[in-house]
Chains A and B, each alone.
Chain A
């Protein structure tokens, strides 16, 4: 048992991911090249989004030896105008796995910054070349690194570090990796194209290995508001998360070292004076309200130990047994464990137990979760069968499980706060669609925020018809957190909803030229697979998609019937123009007249009426 455990402990995160790189999308040269592109581009966009910078991302892929057949080594460079990364963080950010700034609960394209490191790792494995990172946070000095990853130790190896003066801020990452552009090319081009649609505030450029340049300029001049970091929602929590949150809620018993003693003396305003135990207690009582929690804890301990600072220096607190009201400590002088009784009536006793057992349930809920007020917290405690003042630290394992289950089941929590979400917004989405597809008709909708399993989400949708859209629709463009989902369409919830639609009901027939764009924003997109290509059909998400699509379909139907009327009117006008002159000609001869009747005015009036109708 123990030996296996030891082995597990020896695997660094780098090695773990190296062994399981398929999971992260680095299974073969085609897929790896595509995934690497995605990870770097998304990192750049995320970085700019967070700082409110209009992203200007330049990506290039160059073959090391263009004569060689695929798969072969490529140099992938992604350069942005983002905030850059501080010099001291660069080696860790790019040279270790699980280093990142995206741990908070808010919407972002990627999580934890894992993917970029995976790409670097993959590049290093396949080509044994270092990663080149150039970063400038101030637009004046740029740090340039050449890094390798020590897989076993999960540590960066800095091969070279130089600085140079620049005029632009931003980050540039360049790796060498084995890829298959012949196969991945169309996928990458699709990715860039579709990304620029959902990021209309960004400029994206792509130089492909064949010398082709794809440039998508920004088409809107407003950034969507950046998401804020928020506390989790009670419905989206599990036992493990509660455990981790509890650790934060508890206060360590402060280590009573010289620095601590110095702090206590200072807070009590003792200066160099040496006071006896009772003197210290008196001073503490007077200043209690101004004292910090760690200082209060030390004073409380001293009150039971009845020791002054000198004596305190010679012991170490071992345990505080709240139930037996006993305080254990190690006496360095006697080299043995001793204990004192604690008076539960003493106000200091409460201070200690509070420290040991952490926050009460109600405080824990109101302070650490979103959208729970004191009233709801008390109501929940009753629902779950806990006393509201139950200390979190006194919970047994079983009680924690019960708490976690009750949190999931309790229905009176307000729905999750969507302020952590960053939908694109109706206007930019509409502009993007119009610019990209040049349709005759376009309509967008942003559904109100909803939630599944405690995770808030917002569905945005757009529908476009006619114009330059190719026939054979609906063409569905799926996005999640501003990432295009290009593959595994079949099992996706969006496709399911779209396919359920009876388009003939909306006056759409034949081989229609139309496009549907969907964007799901959430703190956690329920992907079906690790490949992040299709969204699972959670009923809540499916419902929002359905309602959104119905709304848009109705708008489209209204447009279609208008369009139909206009087409009919045009057709009719053409018929008139064709036949009325003939009728005039025949009637002239029949009636024995020589001059044709003046029917032109009639035709013109007809056209005017039709124009008004359409």
Chain B
């Protein structure tokens, strides 16, 4: 049974990899044929301009509209970026074939070995997003990863798929500092778990506290530190935990507008990644810290800054903030103009948050 499941998963991983390689090969062959026929090759890239980003209520995330930009090697002002894109596809193909991973920074430097110039890293980052848009796949799929800053802890068995570690398993509760969520973890097979919920928490400090207080055991949970805005690899892992392991996901953030939005991005993605699917956990729940909690739990507060207030107004026009707690809490934040951090609970003792607040919220989450 287990071996069959594992086989299935392995097959799935291989399929995923194959589909990327096939897509890259298809694009490469098209360019090759164009050149062979004396035609200037071109790419159609879905437009990521603001006017082409729309909110899809059905799948509950931002997606790209139908407009696309043509990047042609005939056009001398696009030739350079066309070549860059072509190189990246070529580079991504090598990475994927060889199962090697690379970071954004790496890509920027690697380009120089092929006489491809990028002005700076933001230019190469942009090209990476172009390729994501063309393939409709996140860069992690073609083995380009951001710097790691988020981590995971809890009773979860995984099996590595990356070269050199294939077949090796690991339990993610073995090391109290948690495990960095990097390429090897994101691509690993998720074998089994005793956990019944995933708790994503915004801050490293609280993550450590939760591990110390054995929240994983007490509440049968997997704890994930998002390190602020959750990186895509973390969001991918959250989605996999939800979809593959059937675990509900709750999000715990600071009691301010940025915290609220961290939860929203896990739930329904960001406009920046409108060209990508499969990064969201639509069923994820934000359980706190809410604006209403500030008064309810008599938390020490600090006043909102001007940029906090501006952010509130910005989000008010976001279609996802038009109803439910999202709208309600946003309005309260704007009303009280004060915010509270997760650490504020320490006023009532270091374990107050795990012993009093968290149980209440977990209970509440069931009804959300």
User: Which single member of A568, A575, A589 contacts B80 (CB below 8 Å)?
Assistant: A575
Q: Is the CB of B32 within 8 A of A597?
A: yes
Pick the residue among B29, B39, B40, B76 that contacts A590 (CB under 8 A): B29
Partner of B86, one of A576, A583, A601, A602: A583
Min Cβ gap A583→B in Å is 5
Q: A590-B31, A592-B25, A605-B38 are in contact. Are A583 and B83 (CB under 8 A)?
A: yes
Residues of chain B contacted by A589 (CB below 8 angstroms): 28, 90, 93-94
Q: Is B116 close to A, CB under 8 A?
A: yes
Partner of A582, one of B29, B86, B89: B86
A598 sits at the interface (CB 8 A)? yes
Q: A601 to B32, Cβ gap below 8 A?
A: no
Known A579-B73, A584-B35, A602-B35: A591·B83 in contact at CB below 8 Å = no
Chain B min CB distance to A564 (Å): 14
A565-606 with Cβ < 8 A to chain B: 568, 571-572, 575-576, 579-580, 582-584, 586-593, 597-599, 601-602, 605
For B25, the chain A residues whose CB sits under 8 A away are 590-592
Any A CB within 8 A of the CB of B137: no
Q: Does B119 contact A (CB under 8 A)?
A: no
In the complex, which residues of chain B have a beta carbon less than 8 angstroms from the beta carbon of A572? Answer: 76
Residues of chain B within 8 A (CB-CB) of A583 are: 31, 35, 41, 73, 82-83, 86
Nearest chain A residue, comparing its CB with the CB of B36: A597
> Digit string of B72-85 for contact with A (CB within 8 Å is 1, else 0)?
01001001101100
Whole-angstrom CA separation of A273 from B346 in the bound complex: 159
**Once the chains bind, are B82 and A579 in contact (CB under 8 Å)?**
yes
Tell whether, in the assembled complex, residue A601 and residue B38 are in contact, meaning their CB atoms are under 8 Å apart: yes
Distance to closest chain A CB from B24 (angstroms): 6
Contact B28 A579 (CB under 8 A): no
Chain B residues 95-145 with CB under 8 Å of chain A are: 114-116
**How near does chain B come to A548, taking the closest CB pair, in angstroms?**
38
Which of A579, A587, A592 has most chain B Cβ within 10 Å?
A: A587
Q: Which residues between 9 and 63 of chain B lie within 8 Å of chain A, taking CB atoms?
A: 24-25, 27-29, 31-33, 35-36, 38-41
CB neighbours of A579 from chain B (8 A): 73, 79-80, 82-83
Q: Quick check: is B87 within 8 A (CB to CB) of the other chain?
A: yes
Closest chain A residue to B31, Cβ basis? A587
Contact with B along A422-435 (1 / 0, CB 8 A): 00000000000000
How long is the Cα–Cα vector from A601 to B35 in the complex, in angstroms?
Answer: 10
CA distance A529 to B236 in the complex (A): 87
Q: How far is the CA of A587 from the CA of B76 in the complex (A)?
A: 19
Considering the chains assembled together, what is the distance between the CA atoms of A169 and B171 in angstroms?
116
Specify which chain A residues have a CB less than 8 angstroms from the CB of B83 in the assembled complex: 579, 582-583, 586
Chain B positions within 8 Å of A590 at CB level:
24-25, 27-29, 31-32, 86, 89-90, 93
Residue contact A580 to B90, C-beta cutoff 8 Å = no
Chain A residues near B39: list those with CB within 8 A.
Answer: 602
Q: Are B79 and A597 in contact (CB under 8 A)?
A: no
Give min CB distance, A341 to chain B, whole Å: 104
Q: How far is the CA of A611 from the CA of B222 in the complex (A)?
A: 68
State A579–B31 Cα separation when bound (angstroms).
Answer: 13
Chain B residues, Cβ within 8 Å of A576: 76, 79
- Chain B nearest CB from A590 CB (Å) reads 2
Taking CB atoms, residues of chain A closer than 8 Å to B41 are 583, 587
Alpha-carbon distance A597/B115, docked complex (angstroms): 20
Residues of A within 8 Å of B27, CB to CB, are 590
Note all chain B residues with C-beta closer than 8 A to A592: 25, 28-29
Most buried by A among B28, B35, B83: B35
Please name all residues of chain A whose beta carbon is closer than 8 Å to the beta carbon of B32 when the two chains form the complex. 584, 587-588, 590-591, 593, 597
With a cutoff of 8 Å between Cβ atoms, the chain A residues found around residue B82 in the complex are: 579, 583
How far is A455 from B83 in the complex, measured between Cα atoms in Å? 68
Report the minimum CB–CB distance from B356 to chain A (whole Å).
58
Are B35 and A586 in contact, CB atoms less than 8 angstroms apart?
A: no
Chain A neighbourhood of B90, CB < 8 A: 586-587, 589-590
- Chain B residue numbers with a CB within 8 Å of A584 are 32, 35
Pick the most buried of A576, A583, A588, A601: most chain B CB atoms within 10 A of its CB: A583
Q: Determine whether the beta carbon of A580 is less than 8 Å from that of B73.
A: yes
Report the minimal beta-carbon distance from A584 to chain B, rounded to whole angstroms: 5
- C-alpha gap A287/B62 in the complex (Å): 122
Give, as a whole number of angstroms, the nearest-CB distance from B117 to chain A. 11
State whether A587 and B115 are in contact (beta carbons under 8 Å apart), knowing that A571-B76, A580-B73 are contacts in the complex.
Answer: no
Q: Shortest Cβ distance from A212 into chain B, in angstroms?
A: 50
Residues of A within 8 A of B29 (CB): 587, 590-592
Residue numbers in B under 8 Å from A598 (CB-CB): 35-36
**Closest approach, in angstroms, between the C-beta of B67 and any C-beta of chain A?**
25
Chain B residues whose CB sits within 8 angstroms of the CB of A582 once the complex forms: 83, 86-87, 114-116
Contact pattern, A 278-301, Cβ under 8 Å of B = 1, otherwise 0 = 000000000000000000000000
Nearest Cβ in chain B — how far from A478, in angstroms? 43
A167 to B33, CA, bound (A): 83
The interface residues of chain A lying within 8 Å CB-to-CB of B116 are 582
Nearest CB of chain B from residue A566's CB, rounded to whole Å: 14
**Which chain A residue has the least Cβ–Cβ distance from B94?**
A589
How distant is the Cα of A580 from the Cα of B73 in the complex, in angstroms?
8
Residue pair A586, B38 in contact (C-beta under 8 Å): no
> Hey, which chain A residues are within 8 Å of B115, CB to CB?
582
Give the Cβ gap from A609 to chain B, nearest Cβ, in Å: 11
Q: How far is the CA of A589 from the CA of B86 in the complex (A)?
A: 11
Closest to B28 in A: A590
- The docked-state distance in angstroms from the alpha carbon of A589 to that of B28 is 8
Name the distance in Å between A323's Cβ and chain B's nearest Cβ: 94
A589 to chain B minimum Cβ distance, whole angstroms, is 6
A599 — which chain B residues lie within 8 A by C-beta? 35-36, 38
Kindly provide the distance from the CB of A182 to the nearest chain B CB, expressed in whole angstroms: 55
Chain B hits for A571, CB < 8 A:
76
CB of B177, distance to nearest CB on chain A (Å): 41
Expressed in whole angstroms, the Cα–Cα distance for A571 and B77 within the complex equals 11
Contacts of A605 in B (CB 8 A): 38
Task: Name the interface residues of A98-118: CB closer than 8 Å to any CB of B.
Answer: none
CB-CB < 8 A to A597: which residues of B? 32-33, 35-36
In the complex the two chains form, what is the Cα distance from A473 to B76 in whole Å? 31
B273 to chain A, nearest CB (A): 25
CA distance A277 to B29 in the complex (A): 129
Residues in A lying within 8 Å of B, measured CB to CB:
568, 571-572, 575-576, 579-580, 582-584, 586-593, 597-599, 601-602, 605
What are the 4 closest A-B residue pairs judged by CB atoms, nearest first? A590-B28, A586-B90, A597-B35, A591-B29
**Sample of 6 A–B contacts (CB below 8 Å):** A582-B86, A583-B41, A590-B31, A593-B32, A597-B33, A599-B35
Beyond A580-B73, A605-B38, 14 additional contacts (C-beta under 8 Å) are A568-B76, A575-B79, A576-B76, A582-B116, A586-B83, A586-B86, A586-B87, A586-B89, A587-B32, A590-B93, A592-B28, A593-B32, A602-B35, A602-B40
